[in-house]
């Protein structure tokens, strides 16, 4: 019974797995995302002047609720104004490559901003123990108060792209002594530092997760029920199609990477017209790569399902595997006749 159900679900699994991100650019905007987005736009148009920090938070919340690439341009603008230059570069580049709604005029302006951003960004690579900390970055300015940005770290690593200049970095966590240091950043240099916070003297630091657990004895592994099972025709078909798709994905992906390299070169040189043309070509290559990659994953998933679900089955099944395209999606369809 389970094997028959698996057969019926395979085609649906493949279509869902192979859906390309080109159609993901039209992510439905939820009411929650729409509210956050409108609030962000209102903050940028505030009568007292743009409120970039609050607008940045609103646009990030909108993108979290509905990850439409159309929101990335607003995130990039706010991040640039807040001197979160690494985030601005990433958001702008994704906006150019993923959103089909970017006009040539807007693309030219964003590329101009990217040239400026990449010309003044400095890179930091930080690791932390304990892994969940708060990092506060203050860039000291000669003509005003410091620019302050705060980052929440959950997994012990933080890569930052910051504005060149004098910075004071502070790492803090409840129950631990904070650690601070100053540095002068410059373009082309990557600053690396491993930070280990010391528990406060009163012993209020929380123990690491799982430190009070005792090791158990692993269960004895079960015998492999598929040993000796013959590999079916459907599995061989799946292996062949997956291999062919993987090769095609690698080839087109390589061309896309070369195009991205050329785009970066034109961006660094300030050749806006050439960068815009390469950006348009890159969109087509990225879409094609996404379709091929998604279809490769789908074929591999179907092959695994056919192998494990069919092991030990005594009935004969005729398999056919082919492309399936319709408005809004593309994928492979695997059908079994039994």
- The pLDDT of residue 238 is 67
At 17 the pLDDT is 42
Whole-number Å distance between alpha carbons of 85 and 78: 10
Residue 49 has pLDDT above 50, yes or no: yes
Most confident of 208-217, 248-257, 318-327: 248-257
Q: Give 124-177 pLDDT, tens digit per residue.
A: 999 999 999 999 999 999 888 999 999 999 999 999 999 999 999 999 999 999
Tokens of 286: 């990225």
* DSSP line for 234-296: HHHHHHHHHHHHHHHHHHHHHHHHHHHHHHHHHHHHT-HHHHHHHHHHHHHHHHHHHHHHHHH
Q: What is the pLDDT of residues 150-163, one digit of tens each?
A: 999 999 999 999 99
Q: Is the predicted pLDDT of residue 227 greater than 80, yes or no?
A: no
- What the block records as the tokens of 217 is 């004895």
Cβ contact 279:107 at 8 Å: yes
pLDDT, tens digit (0-9, with 9 covering 90-100), for 310-319? 554 444 445 4
CA atoms in the 13 A half-sphere facing the CB of 160: 24
Strand 157-163: give its sheet, edge to edge: 157-163, 121-129, 190-196
For the beta carbon of residue 161, count every other beta carbon within 10 angstroms: 20
* Average pLDDT of the chain to the nearest whole number: 77
For residue 23, pLDDT beyond 50:
no
* pLDDT per position as a tens digit, 82-111: 999 999 999 999 999 998 888 999 999 999
Give the contacts of 260 (CB within 8 A, at least 6 positions apart): 282
């Amino acid at each position: 019974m389970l094997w028959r159900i698996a057969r019926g679900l395979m085609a649906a699994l493949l279509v869902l797995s192979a859906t390309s991100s080109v159609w993901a650019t039209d992510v439905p905007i939820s009411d929650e995302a729409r509210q956050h987005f409108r609030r962000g736009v209102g903050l940028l148009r505030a009568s007292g002047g743009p409120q970039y920090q609050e607008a940045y938070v609103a646009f990030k919340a909108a993108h979290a609720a509905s990850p439409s690439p159309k929101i990335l341009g607003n995130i990039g603008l706010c991040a640039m104004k807040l001197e979160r230059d690494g985030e601005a570069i990433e958001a702008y580049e994704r906006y150019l490559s993923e959103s089909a709604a970017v006009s040539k005029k807007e693309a030219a302006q964003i590329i101009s901003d990217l040239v400026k951003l990449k010309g003044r960004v400095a890179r930091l690579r930080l690791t932390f123990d304990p892994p969940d900390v708060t990092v506060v970055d203050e860039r000291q300015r000669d003509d005003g108060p410091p620019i302050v940005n705060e980052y929440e770290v959950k997994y012990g690593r933080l890569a930052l792209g910051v504005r060149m200049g004098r910075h004071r970095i502070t790492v803090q966590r409840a129950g631990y002594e904070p650690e601070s240091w100053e540095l002068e950043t410059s373009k082309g240099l990557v600053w690396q530092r491993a930070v280990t916070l010391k528990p406060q003297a009163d012993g209020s630091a929380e123990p690491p997760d799982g430190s009070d657990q005792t090791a158990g004895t692993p269960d004895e592994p079960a015998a492999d029920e598929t040993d000796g099972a013959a590999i079916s025709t459907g599995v061989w078909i799946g292996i062949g199609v997956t291999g062919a798709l993987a090769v095609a994905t690698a080839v087109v992906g390589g061309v896309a990477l070369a195009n991205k390299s050329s785009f970066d070169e034109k961006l660094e040189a300030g050749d806006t017209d050439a960068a815009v043309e390469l950006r348009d070509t890159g969109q087509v290559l990225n879409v094609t790569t996404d379709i091929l990659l998604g279809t490769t994953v789908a074929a591999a998933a179907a092959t695994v399902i056919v192998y494990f679900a069919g092991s030990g089955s005594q009935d004969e099944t005729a398999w056919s595997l082919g492309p399936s395209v319709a408005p809004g999606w593309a994928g492979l369809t695997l059908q079994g006749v039994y």
